[in-house]
C-alpha cells in the first residue's frame, strides 16, 4: 500500500529535524569545551555555562569531564526517578536471592516488626484466612494479607456500611459485598484487624510519613469521605502549598511529633534508603498501618518542587545507609522478621 504523500513529507521533515538537533548537540559540546579551555573546568564560568545546558544534553551523551565539576552543584533530583532506579536495583538483588523491602509485604509481619520496636499496631483479629472464613465483626478492617496500594482494603462498619478504601465505594449489604469479592476472584489470604477510630468516632485519618533512612521528607494526611482528600506537610507540620492542586484537598488536622519519632525508629531499622510508613491517627494515639516501599496511588502526583526535594533526600539517604552498612550495622529487628 502506497503511503500518503503528506506522511512521507512528515517523516522526511522528522529526519531533517533529528539531524539538526544532533548538530546543535555537537555544537553545544564544542562550545563547552572552548569555555573549559578558556576558564578551566573548575571555574565559575564553566559551571554556570553547564547549568544552562545541562538539561539539554541527553544523559547518554554526558561525558565525564562535563559532569565532574558540576557534581557539587546538582540542579536535578527526582524522587520518581529514584524510585524507578530503586525498583530496578531490587530486581537485581532478587536475582541473587536478596529481597529487601519487598513490594507486597506481609501485613502481619509489618505489625510484628513494629511491635518489636514498641510501636502500637491495631489488634489483629484474624490472619491469613480464606475469605469465606472471615468473621464479620463491626468496626474492623478487612484486607489481603499480601498486597499494596490499598487494593481490596475495606472498612467494615456493619452489614449495611462497608467502604472500599481505594474507590470509596459503599456496599450497603453484606451479600452485595460478598458477591463483589467473589466476582473479582481475588487470590490469596485475608486478615482482619480492629478499625482505628478518631475523636469523632469515625475512621481515623491516614498519616503517611515519607522517610529517608531516618530523615522525614514529607507527611501526607488522608481523610476518606466520598473520595480521598489529602493534605501535604513538611517535617515541621507546615502545609505545602505547592501540593494543593494535585488531588482533592482539605485543611488537614496536623500531626504530633510522636508519629515522626515512630517513623524514624522504623526507618532506621530497615536497610533501605526510602520507606513510606503509614499510620492511623486514632483518638488515643498513632497506630502503624503498613510499610509501603513503593507508593502507588500517589506516586506520580508530586509537584516538581516536592519531587526534587524528595529526590535529593533519597540520594542522601543512600549515602548514609551505605556508610552504616560499611560499618557493619546489623539491622537485627528487620532480619528477624523479613529475611
Query: Under a CB-based contact definition with an 8 Å cutoff, are residues 70 and 64 in contact?
Result: no
The structure's pTM equals 0.76
Q: Tens of pLDDT along 309-329? A: 999 999 999 999 999 999 999
Average pLDDT value for residue range 245-262: 91
Reported as a pLDDT band with limits 50, 70 and 90, residue 127 is confident
**Dihedral (CA of 98, 101, 105, 108) sign:** positive
Return the bridge partners of 220, or none.
208, 232
Query: Under a CB-based contact definition with an 8 Å cutoff, are residues 238 and 260 in contact?
Result: no
Percentage above 90 pLDDT, the chain: 48
- What DSSP character marks residue 79? H
Measure the CA–CA gap between 156 and 117, rounded to whole angstroms: 29
CA nearest neighbour of 287 among 213, 229, 206, 232: 206
pLDDT of residue 75: 54
Measure the CA–CA gap between 156 and 303, rounded to whole angstroms: 34
Q: Tens of pLDDT along 12-68? A: 888 888 888 778 777 887 888 888 888 887 788 887 887 777 666 655 555 555 555
Greatest mean pLDDT among 138-147, 197-206, 244-253 lies in 197-206
Measure the CA–CA gap between 265 and 320, rounded to whole angstroms: 15
Task: Write the burial class of residue 110 (CB in 10 Å: 0-12 exposed, 13-18 middle, 19+ buried).
Answer: buried
The pair phi, psi for residue 285, each rounded to 5°, is: 135, -170
Q: Tens of pLDDT along 68-81? A: 555 554 556 888 88
Measure the CA–CA gap between 228 and 166, rounded to whole angstroms: 8
Reported as a pLDDT band with limits 50, 70 and 90, residue 190 is very high
Amino acid at each position: 500500500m502506497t503511503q500518503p504523500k503528506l506522511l512521507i513529507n512528515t517523516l522526511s521533515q522528522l529526519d531533517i529535524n533529528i539531524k539538526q538537533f544532533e548538530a546543535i548537540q555537537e555544537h553545544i559540546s564544542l562550545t563547552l569545551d572552548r569555555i573549559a579551555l578558556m576558564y578551566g573546568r573548575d571555574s565559575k564560568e564553566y559551571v554556570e555555562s553547564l547549568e544552562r545546558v545541562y538539561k539539554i544534553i541527553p544523559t547518554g551523551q554526558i561525558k565525564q569531564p562535563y559532569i565532574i565539576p558540576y557534581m557539587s552543584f546538582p540542579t536535578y533530583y527526582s524522587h520518581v526517578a529514584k524510585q524507578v532506579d530503586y525498583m530496578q536495583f531490587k530486581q537485581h538483588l532478587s536475582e541473587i536471592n536478596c529481597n529487601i523491602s519487598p513490594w507486597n509485604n506481609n501485613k502481619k509481619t509489618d505489625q510484628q516488626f513494629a511491635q518489636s520496636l514498641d510501636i502500637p499496631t491495631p489488634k489483629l483479629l484474624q490472619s491469613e484466612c480464606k475469605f469465606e472464613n472471615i468473621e464479620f465483626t463491626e468496626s474492623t478492617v478487612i484486607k489481603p494479607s499480601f498486597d499494596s496500594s490499598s487494593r481490596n482494603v475495606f472498612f467494615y462498619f456493619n452489614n449495611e456500611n462497608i467502604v472500599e478504601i481505594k474507590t470509596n465505594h459503599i456496599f450497603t449489604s453484606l451479600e452485595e459485598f460478598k458477591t463483589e469479592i467473589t466476582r473479582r476472584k481475588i487470590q490469596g489470604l485475608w486478615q482482619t484487624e480492629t478499625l482505628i477510630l478518631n475523636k469523632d468516632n469515625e475512621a481515623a485519618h491516614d498519616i503517611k510519613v515519607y522517610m529517608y533512612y531516618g530523615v522525614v521528607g514529607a507527611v501526607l494526611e488522608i481523610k476518606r469521605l466520598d473520595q480521598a482528600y489529602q493534605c501535604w506537610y513538611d517535617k515541621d507540620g507546615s502545609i505545602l502549598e505547592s501540593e494543593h492542586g494535585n488531588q482533592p484537598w482539605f485543611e488537614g488536622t496536623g500531626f504530633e511529633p510522636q508519629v515522626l519519632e515512630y517513623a524514624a525508629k522504623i526507618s532506621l531499622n530497615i536497610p533501605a534508603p526510602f520507606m513510606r510508613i503509614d499510620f492511623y491517627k486514632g483518638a488515643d494515639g498513632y497506630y502503624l498501618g503498613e510499610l509501603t516501599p513503593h507508593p502507588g496511588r500517589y506516586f506520580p502526583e508530586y509537584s516538581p518542587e516536592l519531587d526534587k526535594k524528595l529526590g535529593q533526600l533519597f540520594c542522601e539517604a543512600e549515602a548514609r545507609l551505605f556508610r552504616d552498612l560499611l560499618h557493619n550495622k546489623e539491622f537485627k529487628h528487620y532480619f528477624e522478621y523479613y529475611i
